Structure 1
Amino acid sequence: MLTKTDRTTLRQRPHRGSHDFEAMAAILDEALACTISFVDEGRPVSIPTTHWRMGGQVLFHGGQGSRLAKVMAAGAELCVTVTLVDGLVLARSAFHHSMNYRSVILFGQAVEVTDPVEKAAAFAALIEKLSPGRYSQVRPPTDKELAATKLLALSMTEGSAKMRSGPPVDDEADLSWPVWAGVVPVRMIRGKPVAE
């Protein structure tokens, strides 16, 4: 369980929120991409990128010279977000339309992982997340490739999850409105692989 902070206390519909580590980990593990937000030279910046989790850390990578890697390595305060959309909630009134979703927000500073053994294990974990069983089949990264890539880790110490599920919540007066209401499920699926 993550400790609640002022930034992670849910004020709007708090019953949908959670500070449970396992719930957050499951969402992070399922999601393939996140958005990392920070302030750079006085301006807000958001960058979508791949992430993966090892234990209580969320990992990111980039080229040694990338802005994201430089800002994270310099100790910038980050806000990392992930959202999975599970359904379109179609109500009888326009006002009550919504989405079923699972989301995570994390705050903190990333630290650079420099140990070659840890870096190699982390990149193996990334490949395994993308395609389980594949890492044993591909050429592992060389020392030069590892040196060219900055690996950063954000500890899951401050954050929260928020979720919505279920049907639309229409006002009693709208229940007789003559339109279909319900949930249209949304899911991401992997298609048939296309050879190189």
Structure 2
Amino acid sequence: MADKPGTLWYVIGPSGAGKDSLLAYARDRLPAGAGVMFSHRYITRPAGAGGENHVALSAEEFSAREANGCFALCWRRHGLAYGLGVELDLWLGQGLDVVVNGSRSSLALAAAHFPTLRPLWITASRETLAARLAGRGRESADDIGHRLREAGGFAPPPGSEVLWNDGELAEVGERLLALLAGR
């Protein structure tokens, strides 16, 4: 157990903001000894569905893990179940900082469970969001419209670090690296 628990960087923002790309950018560039862990989410989405590197579970597997206390936090959105494993508590207790791809709708629940949580809001213009959502090919036009309307109704929570991701990935990625490295 460390003297001081690590920080939980709770990454949130609208669909299409580029959260997965930014997290992959940072994961690939942070040195192994940086004291930062990137957590995978457990999702009831097939592994080859595109997007983030996640642990794919069937609905039955997810329910069994949830019933047996394998998740520190779980939620449901857009017809899928999402979980963050109990390993987060272990890592934070060891003083490691942890980066997770969270959910705006579960922020209050996450903040109650993880006292060192720092929200990291990643967003982009409506035009950029629309282009990215269309480009990934996972949603229908109606679904994209719904996600864009939903994005317009959310704002960064108080105390959030905010990264606008409309430009080059490397530019915003370097700002994310600086945040995670404490610079």
Instruction: Pick the TM interval, shorter chain.
Output: under 0.3
TM (norm. structure 2) is 0.22
More strand by share: 1
The structure with higher relative contact order (CA 8 Å, sep 6+) is 2
More helix by share: 2
